[in-house]
Structure 1
């Protein structure tokens, strides 16, 4: 379906309503985020990314005796501005990506926490949507 939409959008305007924001990022040029029936944010996808994208590190540690305590302690790092913790992973919004990458890896090593994954990137459209919805 996504391939079909990619082809069609070359010749016409496509209005695509979805809750699968990853798909919206692949298909759309312009985005409208709606909260409680009102427009919460709108604009070109590239403009929105430039304005609201934040550096994010996602970590999935191996489960061990100290891994949960270590994950809980990360909120206190000077370069961490926000934490979203799931059952098996933690997503950290950071103020300085270089400092955070080195600091987090050193800290995991110091606390003998083995990492299954360590991903450095930036916030997605889904992250932005969750932030906009939570501001309500």
Structure 2
């Protein structure tokens, strides 16, 4: 049963690692500019689901985090009239990503804390296993 704790915490850490990578990508592209509404960067978010295994067998019951995929935000990009910009389209508009940096910073803090919590779970499980082994000495 103890090894499942490591699997569950590990799946949570993998999920939060993906979330942090997507936040970094979104923030790094937040100020990019495009001349086409089709080519502008779109904010990306992860999709997670609870992973349940063998719920009928109480010896094997475990859960974790399943990464279902990554979706692009469908909100429209920011249109800005800048006729003198070298990337402006024929109508004088440039297009900026639909990235909300405040939301991304909140996501980053939440993902970082969740990752740290999973590390604490691993450390606690390790310490409990070591203390259990010491009891037999």
Greater Rg by CA: 2
Higher fraction of helix: 2
Structure number with the bigger relative contact order (C-alpha 8 A, sep ≥ 6) is 2
Both proteins in one fold, TM over 0.5: no
Shorter-normalised TM range? under 0.3
Higher fraction of strand: 1
Q: What TM-score comes out, normalization by structure 2 length?
A: 0.21
Q: What TM-score comes out, normalization by structure 1 length?
A: 0.22
